[in-house]
Amino acid sequence: MLHFDEATWLITGCSSGLGRALAEATLARGERVAATARKHQSLSDLAAAYPRTCLTLPLEISDYGQIKSTIERTEQTLGPINVLVNNAGYLRLGAIEETTDADYKAVFDTNFFGPMQIIREVLPGMRKRRQGCIVNVTSVGAFSPPPGASAYSAAKAALDVASEALSLEIAPFGINVIIVVLGAFRTRVMESMTYAESVIDDYKATAHATRDRFETISGHQVGDVHKAASAIIDAVNQENPPLRMPLGPDSVERVRAKLADVAREMEVGATTAASVTYY
């Protein structure tokens, strides 16, 4: 059974929400944590409370040079990274017709390309030690996207699929992958979400309705990040952790509904699918 007691964790997006809760819970267990955030000054109280086991670092997830230096400082100060948590996220809303290539690039840089670069940087050490765990925080929106969130949902879906392929690639090395399929949690992600500059009135009932709903539920989500953090820590320490870990009742409900829809579509299309062969 894998136990990462007194392990070194690298966690991105620790200024608030799940990342902050996970850093706090891990440090309270006596483990070592490199807690990163774009504005790492917000983490000064953690560093003061755990001066020997907490390293706070600034990290702009789209800055590949900074990613490399963050990993180097973490391992020089705290030791080899045993657990990587890609938690940092960026939410930008807008209908596809309203969303520019620059919008998509900004969202993908934070939610997909940044995590991929961090993974590539930590994997050589994990492979050498034949031990480790990579936790990638995605979203139920990656599987069941709402209108108006195509950029965020697509980036998280890319992270989900890449994580599944990664799990097959690195399983022989004793390295686990956990995909956290996050539902609605009481974090600041909706407070910091941005919107496409172009606004087309025809999307009021679809894409814009998602924006209105997100603004309404912000601060009232049922998900508790502290309980989620505890669940993730437990999963990391399991002998055979789940590949996909839904968190939040809405996550399970939406995935089940989408799977039922897909199953119906496959049944309807099965005859046509079988008819397009050479024999």
How far is Cα 236 from Cα 232, in angstroms, rounded to an integer? 6
How far is Cα 123 from Cα 129, in angstroms, rounded to an integer? 10
Radius of gyration of the chain from its Cα atoms, rounded to whole angstroms: 20
- Residues designated catalytic: 152, 156
How far is Cα 224 from Cα 228, in angstroms, rounded to an integer? 6
Dump the DSSP string for the chain: ----TT-EEEES--SSHHHHHHHHHHHHTT-EEEEEETTGGGGHHHHHH-TTTEEEEE--TT-HHHHHHHHHHHHHHT-S--EEEE-----EEB-GGG--HHHHHHHHIIIIIHHHHHHHHHHHHHHHHT-EEEEEEEEGGGTSPPTTBHHHHHHHHHHHHHHHHHHHHHGGGTEEEEEEEE--BSSSTTTS-EE-S---GGGTTTHHHHHHHHHHHTT--SB-HHHHHHHHHHHHTSSS--SEEEESHHHHHHHHHHHHHHHHHHHHHHHHHHHTS--
